[in-house]
Amino acid sequence: MKNKLSILLRAGVFTLAAVFAFAFTQPKPQQGPFVYDPLTDTFTDVSGVNYQCNMAFEEICVYLEPNLESETIPGRFEEL
């Protein structure tokens, strides 16, 4: 009886911990790469856009975050 109660208690604690882990975390929104427009000084999310980075040009195709200091992918942005 004591062993069974111990097993049930551990299972209950584990279940409660799993519930709290999901209850108090928020998912991060998925954001895709961004194109910078120097004329308007804005970033546009292109995660749903069909595009390619033409590597023949030595420019910045897309930024991985909406700021000029983030990682970049080289090339020229071309929408397909």
Q: Which amino acid is at 3?
A: N
State the pTM of this model.
0.56
User: pLDDT digit string (tens) for 53-79?
Assistant: 888 778 899 998 888 888 888 988 888
SS3 46: coil
User: pLDDT digit string (tens) for 7-51?
Assistant: 878 888 888 888 887 777 776 665 789 999 889 999 999 988 898
SS3 54: strand
Distance CA 18, CA 10 (A): 12
